[in-house]
C-alpha cells in the first residue's frame, strides 16, 4: 500500500490536484472516439496530478515513485485517442505543460521542452521562417512531447513521412526511474527508444527535431462528383514533385457535410479534397483540378481572416466532427494496398456501403506516396467491427487498430526490442505508464511490484 501522506509530504512543494473528480477528468483523453476503448478507460484515474516546474521537481517526483513504487504517467494536452495519458493503475499523473520553452534553434534544428504546444512553437519559430514538420489536427493544444510519445504523423506527412522515419527525431532528454533517478541524453539511433512509446520508456523532458521551411500555406478545397475522381486528383497532386504540399486529404461524400466549416462549400453528392499548398503550387493544382473535373469551392490565403483552417477538418478532427453530428460513428486506421487503392475501396464498399465512409489522408512512406485511410465506421458492435477489420486485412490493407491502448496492438504491430531493453534499464520496476507495453507485460506482468 502506498503511504500517500508520506508522498504528499515529500512533494508538498509541487503544485498538485488530489480530488477524485479532477484527477479523473485529467486522466482521460479522446479515447471516447472508440466505443471499445472507452468502457475500459473511463473509470481509470490517477491518485494525484502533479504540476512540476523544474528539473528538481521532476527528480523529486521520480525519487518518490521509485521509493514508493508508484506508477508515473505523463500528461501533455491529453489530445491522444488511445488512452496514452490514462493511468491504468493509478499513481501520479505528471502534467508537463510548464516545460514549454524553446531551448535553442540552429538553422533547421530545434531543441525544445516536451510540454511546448505545437502552435506556440510554430509562432515562436515564424520570424526565422522555419516551422515544425508536422501538425496533428490538434496542433493548437497538443504538446510536442505527447505528439512524439504517441503520434505517428499527420499534416506534413505528405512531405516528411512518419515521425518514426529516419531523420525525424534527432535527440531527447529523458528522466529515468532507476534506483537513483537521473536525466539521460539520447542521440542518434538510441533516441528511437522513446519514439512512440507512450512514455513507457522514460519521461521525455526535451526533444531535438529537424524543422521544415515555413511557407505561407494556401488552403483550398476542391470538389468532385465522385470519390474516385477526388482520389485521382489527390494522388496526382501528391505525386507532382514540383508542387509543395503540407496536406492532401480526401473526404468522400457525405463527410464534408459533417464539418460545419465545410458545409456551405459542398453540394450533395460531392467528395472533397482538402489541400495545403505553397502559393506557387496553386496554379499547377488548379490546372490538374480542371483536367479532372474538379471545382475549387473554397480558398484561403494566410493573409485572409482565419475563420477556420482546413487543418482542423482533417485527420482525427474529421472523426471528431462526424461524432458531434452522430456519435454512432467511430473509425479505423489503415494503409491501403499500393497501386490498388480505388479497387480496394470499391471492393469493400460492395459489402459495407454507407456504413463505412472513406476519409483518406495521403502521406509519404519510404519514398512513395501512400494512401492512408481513417474511414468513419458506423458502430454496430464489437463483432461486426472485427468482421470489418478482418475483411479489410484480407483485402490487402495494413491496419493500425485505434481501439486498443496497447502500444504493440496499435500502430507498432510488433514488439520493439530496443524499447523493451531500454525500459529494462531505465524503469526496472515497470513504473512508467504500466500496462501499455505488451512486451513488458508478457515478460514481467503488469508491474514488477
Distance (Å, whole) CA 271 – CA 226: 6
For residues 313 and 261, the answer to whether their CB atoms sit within 8 Å is: yes
Report the alpha-carbon angle 92-120-133, nearest 5.
Answer: 100
Q: How far is the CB of 186 from its own copies (least distance, A)?
A: 12
Distance (Å, whole) CA 442 – CA 29: 26
Q: How far is the CB of 367 from its own copies (least distance, A)?
A: 3
Distance (Å, whole) CA 194 – CA 204: 8
3-state DSSP percent of the chain in helix, strand and coil, to 5: 35, 25, 40
Cβ closer to its own copies: 1 or 417?
417
Q: How far is the CB of 363 from its own copies (least distance, A)?
A: 9
The three grid cell numbers given for residue 29, joined into one nine-digit string: 483523453
Cβ closer to its own copies: 240 or 342?
240
Q: Is the bond preceding residue 254 a cis peptide, omega within 30 degrees?
A: yes
Cβ closer to its own copies: 343 or 368?
368
**Which H or E run includes 227?**
helix 227-239
Cβ closer to its own copies: 247 or 255?
247
Q: How far is the CB of 280 from its own copies (least distance, A)?
A: 4
Cβ closer to its own copies: 304 or 351?
304
Report the interface residues with its own copies, using CB under 8 A: 106-109, 129, 159-162, 165-168, 170, 187-189, 210, 213, 215-216, 238-244, 278-281, 283-284, 287-288, 364-369
Cβ closer to its own copies: 286 or 389?
286
* Nearest partner of 170 among 183, 193, 186, judged by Cα: 186
Q: How far is the CB of 109 from its own copies (least distance, A)?
A: 5
Cβ closer to its own copies: 359 or 364?
364
Written as one string, the DSSP assignment of 313-340 is GSHHHHHHHHHHH-TTEEE--EEPPTT-
Q: How far is the CB of 212 from its own copies (least distance, A)?
A: 8
* Nearest partner of 111 among 123, 97, 126, 125, judged by Cα: 125
Q: How far is the CB of 209 from its own copies (least distance, A)?
A: 8
Amino acid at each position: 500500500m502506498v503511504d500517500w501522506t508520506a508522498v504528499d509530504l515529500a512533494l508538498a512543494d509541487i503544485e498538485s490536484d488530489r480530488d477524485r473528480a479532477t484527477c479523473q477528468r485529467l486522466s482521460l483523453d479522446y479515447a471516447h472516439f472508440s466505443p471499445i476503448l472507452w468502457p475500459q478507460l473511463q473509470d481509470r484515474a490517477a491518485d494525484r496530478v502533479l504540476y512540476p516546474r523544474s528539473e528538481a521537481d521532476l527528480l523529486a517526483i521520480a525519487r518518490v515513485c521509485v521509493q514508493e513504487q508508484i506508477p508515473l504517467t505523463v500528461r501533455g494536452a491529453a489530445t491522444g485517442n488511445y488512452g496514452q495519458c490514462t493511468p491504468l493503475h493509478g499513481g501520479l499523473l505528471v502534467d508537463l505543460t510548464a516545460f514549454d520553452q524553446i531551448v535553442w534553434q540552429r538553422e533547421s534544428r530545434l531543441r525544445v521542452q516536451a510540454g511546448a504546444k505545437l502552435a506556440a512553437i510554430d509562432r515562436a519559430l515564424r520570424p526565422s521562417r522555419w516551422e515544425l514538420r508536422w501538425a496533428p489536427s490538434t496542433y493548437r493544444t497538443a504538446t510536442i512531447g505527447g505528439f512524439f510519445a504517441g503520434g505517428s504523423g499527420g499534416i506534413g506527412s505528405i512531405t516528411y513521412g512518419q515521425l518514426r522515419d529516419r531523420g525525424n527525431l534527432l535527440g531527447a532528454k529523458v528522466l529515468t526511474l532507476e534506483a537513483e533517478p537521473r536525466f539521460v541524453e539520447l542521440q542518434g539511433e538510441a533516441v528511437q527508444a522513446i519514439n512512440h512509446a507512450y512514455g513507457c520508456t522514460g519521461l521525455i523532458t526535451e526533444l531535438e527535431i529537424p524543422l521544415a521551411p515555413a511557407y505561407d500555406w494556401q488552403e483550398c478545397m476542391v470538389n468532385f462528383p465522385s470519390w474516385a475522381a477526388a482520389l485521382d486528383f489527390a494522388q496526382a497532386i501528391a505525386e507532382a514533385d514540383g508542387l509543395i504540399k503540407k496536406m492532401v486529404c480526401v473526404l468522400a461524400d457525405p463527410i464534408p457535410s459533417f464539418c460545419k466549416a465545410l458545409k456551405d462549400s459542398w453540394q450533395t453528392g460531392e467528395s472533397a479534397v482538402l489541400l495545403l499548398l505553397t502559393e506557387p503550387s496553386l496554379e499547377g493544382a488548379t490546372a490538374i483540378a480542371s483536367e479532372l473535373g474538379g471545382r475549387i469551392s473554397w480558398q484561403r490565403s494566410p493573409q485572409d481572416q482565419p475563420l477556420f483552417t482546413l487543418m482542423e477538418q482533417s485527420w482525427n478532427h474529421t472523426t471528431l466532427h462526424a461524432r458531434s453530428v452522430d456519435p454512432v460513428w467511430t473509425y479505423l486506421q489503415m494503409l491501403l494496398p499500393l497501386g490498388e487503392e480505388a479497387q480496394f475501396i470499391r471492393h469493400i464498399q460492395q459489402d459495407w456501403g454507407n456504413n463505412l465512409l472513406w476519409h483518406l489522408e495521403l502521406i509519404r512512406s519510404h519514398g512513395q506516396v501512400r494512401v492512408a485511410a481513417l474511414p468513419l465506421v458506423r458502430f454496430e458492435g464489437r463483432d461486426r467491427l472485427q468482421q470489418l477489420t478482418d475483411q479489410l486485412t484480407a483485402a490487402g490493407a495494413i491496419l493500425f487498430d485505434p481501439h486498443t491502448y496497447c502500444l504493440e496492438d496499435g500502430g507498432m504491430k510488433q514488439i520493439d526490442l530496443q524499447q523493451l531493453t531500454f525500459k529494462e534499464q531505465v524503469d526496472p520496476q515497470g513504473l512508467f505508464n504500466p500496462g501499455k507495453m505488451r512486451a513488458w507485460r508478457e515478460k514481467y506482468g503488469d508491474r514488477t511490484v
